[in-house]
Amino acid sequence: MELPFAESWKIKMVEPIRKSTRPERELWMKNAHYNVFQLKSEQVYIDLITDSGTGAMSDRQWAAMMMGDESYAGASSFFNLQSTIQKLTGFEYVIPTHQGRAAENVLFSYLVHEGDIIPGNSHFDTTKGHIEGRKATALDCTIDEARNTQLELPFKGNVDIKKLENALSKHQERIPFIIVTITNNTAGGQPVSMENMRQIKELANRYRKPVLFDSARFAENAYFIKTREKGYADKSIKEITKEMFALADGMTMSAKKDGIVNMGGFIATRLHNWYEGAKGYCVQFEGYLTYGGMNGRDMNALATGLDENTEFDNLETRIRQVQYLAQKLDEYNIPYQRPAGGHAIFVDASQVLPLVPKEEFPAQTLTIELYLEAGIRGCEIGYILADRDPVTRENRFGGLDLLRLAIPRRVYTDNHINVVAAALKNVFERRETITRGVRIAWEAPLMRHFTVQLERL
Ligand code: F0G
């Protein structure tokens, strides 16, 4: 008989987690104003709020930490990290930062100015924030198909080349660079194909514009290219990674995702002017150039994490687990953004709770229901996150309303995933009884998602 699939690692250290009772969760959720960001982690049984900084490091990474060089300037850990990044990406210049948004802040301080337009595929919130905060525009050129959750496409994170060309021809003077987010988090952890990256680069060259990759989940993107795109089945993840980055001029990285560290990030580029321009901002905002916001030990752990997570076995174990959750939801007919993405399942709340009016935030309601059901913490990626229109102050109901179940790397077993799926099934089965959602009692004027206070209706 063919042997079944199993994880490419075994467990050396464990952390106990605790179940709670429904009355306990009712009280905790009320005290948290029905906002899961306000819960204490010990009030959570299975935590799927994010895959960012929540992964488990390997024995090699912990060993590398012990060898960290904490020298202020010229630390060996920096050169170790730099040479790993150079080997993986082909980018010559490396600036460490304390996380992804810090890399954006440092680089965009040099690159983005008032009135600029930065086209890309579903800019992540902080990326958009760093663009809009500089009075520039983040122009979303993602393919329209990404908005239909039930459509199965292998590369649903792609840039629409026509939309991009349109933007370039119309606003050529105002575009400092093009940004491509791999994988496309906001569209559901959906990958971008090599063919799409090649077309973007050709177009960019024609208009003499550099291309920046927001690379938080680049290794997962490479896995999808290997397993889905013609001509890549026999290439290694490291070969595919190199080929992807050859189609960009630089990258910002949140190392908390595919670097499998709890904190860290960096900028890497082949452009001397980007490096020279960003350097000063790194010193001003983050720290001196050979640590930029990171400890020596963390740079060492990151170098090892990047090396490990660009190996097929590690990625296969991870992405198969996300797909396993999707398979369970298929069994129960629960709709989600198809196909399963690299780091999370995005449940389509408007289809799961059709009786909850959009003004009462269905995805947030589903997030609350799942927590009350079994202590599982997901995260709303929907109408609350979308904030209000800055001019009209109306809620933005134009996008998708999703519950994201982000899977931390190397943390939970498939047994935990079974619990998540069963809990969601229980909520789904009583969906007819869930007719009311929540209303906002208090919200911050900007980025209300993290602090909003809600009341149940
Ligand atoms: N880019 C992408 C695509 C991201 O998903 C994130 C973070 C960032 C940039 C910013 O990186 O958190 O290190 O400052 N995403 C997390 C998430 C927070 O939960 O999806 P950071």
Tell me the best of 124, 142, 447 to mutate to test the pocket of ligand 1, counting ligand atoms within 8 Å of each CB and taking the most: 124
- State mean pLDDT over 324-351: 97
Flag whether pLDDT at 420 surpasses 80. Answer: yes
pLDDT in tens, 77-123: 999 999 999 999 999 999 999 999 999 999 999 999 999 999 999 99
**Whole-structure pTM value:** 0.97
Distance in angstroms (rounded) separating the CA atoms of residues 215 and 196: 15
Measured in angstroms, how far is the CA atom of residue 217 from the centroid of ligand 1?
9
Retrieve residue 283's tokens. Answer: 């010193």
Comparing 22-51+312-456 with 59-308, is the CATH topology the same?
Answer: no
Q: Is 223 a catalytic residue?
A: no
Which H/E stretch holds residue 316?
helix 312-331
Instruction: Return the pLDDT at 447.
Output: 83
For ligand 1, whether the C-beta of 356 sits within 6 Å is no
Tell me the best of 183, 214, 254 to mutate to test the pocket of ligand 1, counting ligand atoms within 8 Å of each CB and taking the most: 254
Instruction: Give whole-number Cα distances, 139 to 146, 198, 249, 372, in Å.
Output: 16, 20, 20, 38
Q: What CATH number was assigned to the domain covering residues 22-51+312-456?
A: 3.90.1150.10
Measured in angstroms, how far is the CA atom of residue 216 from the centroid of ligand 1?
7
Flag whether pLDDT at 338 surpasses 80. Answer: yes
Q: Is 34 a catalytic residue?
A: no
The radius of gyration computed from the CA coordinates of the chain, to the nearest angstrom, equals 22
Retrieve residue 456's tokens. Answer: 């149940």
pLDDT in tens, 384-414: 998 888 789 999 998 899 999 999 999 999 9
Q: What CATH number was assigned to the domain covering residues 59-308?
A: 3.40.640.10
Q: Per DSSP, what are the bridge partners of residue 139?
A: 119
**Confidence at 189, pLDDT banded by 50, 70, 90:** very high
Q: Where are the domains of the chain?
A: 22-51+312-456, 59-308
- State mean pLDDT over 19-28: 98
Distance in angstroms (rounded) separating the CA atoms of residues 226 and 236: 8
pLDDT in tens, 118-151: 999 999 989 999 999 999 999 999 999 999 999 9
- State mean pLDDT over 224-233: 98
For ligand 1, whether the C-beta of 97 sits within 6 Å is no
